[in-house]
Structure 1
Amino acid sequence: MRTVPLGRTGEQVSQLALGCMLMGTSTGEAESFEMLDRYVGAGGAFLDTADCYAWWPGPPATGGESESLLGRWFARTGRRDDVFLATKGGAWVADPAAVLAGRTTAAEQYAGAGGDTLRHALDASLTRLGVDHVDLYYVHVDDLRTPLEEALEVLAGLVAAGKTRYLGWSNVQTWRLERIRQLCARHGWPAPVALQQEHSYLRKHPGADSLSVVDDEQLRYLRAHDDLTLVAYSPLLKGAYDDPAKRAGHHVMHSYAGADTDARLATVAKLAADLGVTNGQLVLAWLLHQRDPRRVALIGPRTLQQYEAAPPALDLHLDADLLATLDAAGA
């Protein structure tokens, strides 16, 4: 399992991270444990979860199930110290039933990044996980309602208290990220070392209104600031590369639809067929080959079969000509 630097912290983290979003709900306990055992047994050591995972499968799930399952796995295996553990706060949804019924949206219910909210959220996460600290704590969704100074001062306190070693931010625009960094420098607060955003081989179309998808501007920003590591979530776009039905009907494609995406999908399909691999494996290998900036690929498999399809991408070598062909594809 290859590793990449986490900013300038001196930490090396697994380049292929395992997202535990659906563990304990859509993925049952036995299958989740098997997935975790196989990942760590293969040398993987970067686990990602959040306090809100996962309310959307519906009752009786309300959030917290993923963290609780990881807590049981740590208790069973004693492997807490063998992994780099990340969780998130701020996107807790108080009334999942109302969201599922269409009476409100998840965004309207997000707990946000208020000081008391973050303090209580991390304490609750640590309890569910059965640990005294996490290695990385993200603000899950940028909160424009809360003064950044309030959130950053509290986060600094959480680091000082030993409840998290490092901080990250997710689903955030570049201008906000720069403001966060300026405030941290001014006040001597610990700055984020990880940026978790949706990122894949496909490129967001110019009219897409999404704060979560990395665009060219954000990549340029990351190239200029190597103290931030990009953790790319949904690199496989929920299986859309290998499933035309998902490309046609899944909301994950809304930010990408257009001629550029059609051309890149066609290129991936041709090259993957030539190599004898799946489209998804080629896309994942492309991401793992990126050096400027380096990226962590965060997969979130629902089944053991989906998990087993990912590690072969680590061994897939793409030469310079093939990478150039992939990069040049597009309308």
Structure 2
Amino acid sequence: MKRTELGRTGTTVGQVALGCMLMGTYTDEPTSYRMLDSFLDAGGDFLDTANCYCWWHSGGAGGDSEELLGRWLARTGHRDRVFLATKVGGIVTDVPAALVDGKADWDVAARHFEGTGADVVRHGIDASLRRLGTDHVDLYYVHVDDLTTPLEETLEALDGIVRAGKVRYIGWSNVRTWRLERIRQLADRHGWAAPVAVQQQHSYLRPAPGVDRTGIAGPELLDYLTHHDDLSLVAYSPILQGIYDDPARRARHGMWTTYTGPDSEARLAAVGKVAADLGVTGNQVALAWLLHQRSPRVIPIAGTRTWGQFEAFLPALGVELGVEHLELLAGAGA
């Protein structure tokens, strides 16, 4: 696996992060360990989790993924081989209210996020460190941008845990561009730790006209990150839960409604042509396209639930897109 710099920190990480969200709940422990071991064997080191993963499968407060990673790290002694990222702000304080017939109601969940007040940040990192069985994490994200807490309070608390050695770098997720700029200005003014990464949903397909979601990297944010390369874009759902290869899956998948339309149909056709030319899958082409991006550079998160999905993602690391294929993909759309 190739490596890439995180922002302009001088720290390099594997070009793809492994999403550990479902480890310990949907994905059982032996399979999770197998994925983690194989990811390191393939040259990967960037592991992504959060303190709330994943309450919607466990019915609890979360922490299952962090606990599993803690057991794996204790068993293997690999803490010095991984770049460990976790998050604060996404715990739901009333899980029963947010679960309807066993499924997450995200509108309700959004009204019960823990927020990012100073006490939440300070207690949150300590709880995450206990579950992970380590004395620090490498990257600590604000998981859900909290519009009710003064940014100064959140940033000062984050700076405090960086100075205490509990966190190396901070990041932000699901954030508007204007807020990101405000965060950076305040950090610069007060000498506080500033974000080096922003984690948003991002893929080859573009959202349909009129879709405006905080968590999706839109044109404005992509342009901002192109001109501020001290921030890395870490892309979650880079293959949109596998909708590039299976029309039937797209038709029944809730995520497809965000992207459906002529633009996506044209871009799916381009993916299909490139995949046929290279003898690979559409999902692998979409992931390879992200790895070829330079404006801005992208670190995709491969969130694999099963061993089969893990095996399917690895070949994308070796997919080389030539100039003609990159031009075809870049020019496709309505």
| TM-score relative to the length of structure 1 | 0.97
| Separation in 1, partners of 2:180, 2:235 | 16
- Residue of structure 1 equivalent to 2:77: 78
- Residue of structure 1 equivalent to 2:42: 42
Deviation of 1:270 after TM superposition, in Å, equals 2.2
| Separation in 2, partners of 1:42, 1:56 | 30
Are residues 1:263 and 2:262 paired? Answer: no
**Match for 1:251 among 254, 258, 264?**
254
- Residue of structure 2 equivalent to 1:15: 15
- Residue of structure 1 equivalent to 2:214: 211
Please list, as runs of the form range in 1=range in 2, the aligned pairs for 1:39-118 lying within 5 A after superposition: 39-59=39-59, 61-101=60-100, 105-118=108-121
Q: Which runs of 4+ in 1 moved over 6 A?
A: none
Deviation of 1:58 after TM superposition, in Å, equals 4.1
- Residue of structure 2 equivalent to 1:30: 30
| Separation in 1, partners of 2:276, 2:65 | 36
| Separation in 2, partners of 1:253, 1:306 | 19
- Residue of structure 1 equivalent to 2:291: 288
Question: Is the contact made by 1:85 and 1:135 (CA closer than 8 Å) also made in structure 2?
Answer: yes
| Separation in 2, partners of 1:25, 1:99 | 18
Q: Which deviates the most, 248-257 or 33-42?
A: 248-257
Question: Is the contact made by 1:49 and 1:66 (CA closer than 8 Å) also made in structure 2?
Answer: yes
1:85-111 Cα distance to aligned partner (Å, 9 max, x none): 000000101222221125961111111
Question: Is the contact made by 1:200 and 1:232 (CA closer than 8 Å) also made in structure 2?
Answer: yes
Are residues 1:320 and 2:323 paired? Answer: yes
**Match for 1:298 among 288, 301, 304?**
301
Deviation of 1:200 after TM superposition, in Å, equals 0.2
After superposition, the Cα gap between the structure-2 partners of 1:157 and 1:249, relative to the gap in structure 1 and judged at 3 Å, is same
One-letter identity of the residue aligned with 2:4: V
| Separation in 2, partners of 1:24, 1:44 | 20
Say how many residue pairs are matched: 330
Deviation of 1:255 after TM superposition, in Å, equals 2.3
After superposition, the Cα gap between the structure-2 partners of 1:161 and 1:103, relative to the gap in structure 1 and judged at 3 Å, is closer
Deviation of 1:240 after TM superposition, in Å, equals 1.0
SS in 2 for 1:149: helix
SS in 2 for 1:4: strand
Are residues 1:154 and 2:153 paired? Answer: no
Please list, as runs of the form range in 1=range in 2, the aligned pairs for 1:114-133 lying within 5 A after superposition: 114-133=117-136
| Separation in 2, partners of 1:299, 1:246 | 19
| Separation in 1, partners of 2:205, 2:199 | 17
Deviation of 1:250 after TM superposition, in Å, equals 2.2
After superposition, the Cα gap between the structure-2 partners of 1:42 and 1:103, relative to the gap in structure 1 and judged at 3 Å, is closer
One-letter identity of the residue aligned with 2:172: W
Deviation of 1:244 after TM superposition, in Å, equals 2.1
SS in 2 for 1:207: coil
1:179-236 Cα distance to aligned partner (Å, 9 max, x none): 0000001101010000100000001223113101111111110111011000011001
| Separation in 2, partners of 1:217, 1:62 | 34
| Separation in 2, partners of 1:58, 1:117 | 22
One-letter identity of the residue aligned with 1:88: K
| Separation in 1, partners of 2:305, 2:184 | 35
Deviation of 1:80 after TM superposition, in Å, equals 0.6
Deviation of 1:253 after TM superposition, in Å, equals 2.3
1:128-152 Cα distance to aligned partner (Å, 9 max, x none): 0000100000000111011100000
One-letter identity of the residue aligned with 2:272: A
Question: Is the contact made by 2:7 and 2:229 (CA closer than 8 Å) also made in structure 1?
Answer: yes
Q: Which deviates the most, 312-321 or 164-173?
A: 312-321
| Separation in 2, partners of 1:243, 1:100 | 29
| TM-score relative to the length of structure 2 | 0.96
Deviation of 1:243 after TM superposition, in Å, equals 2.4
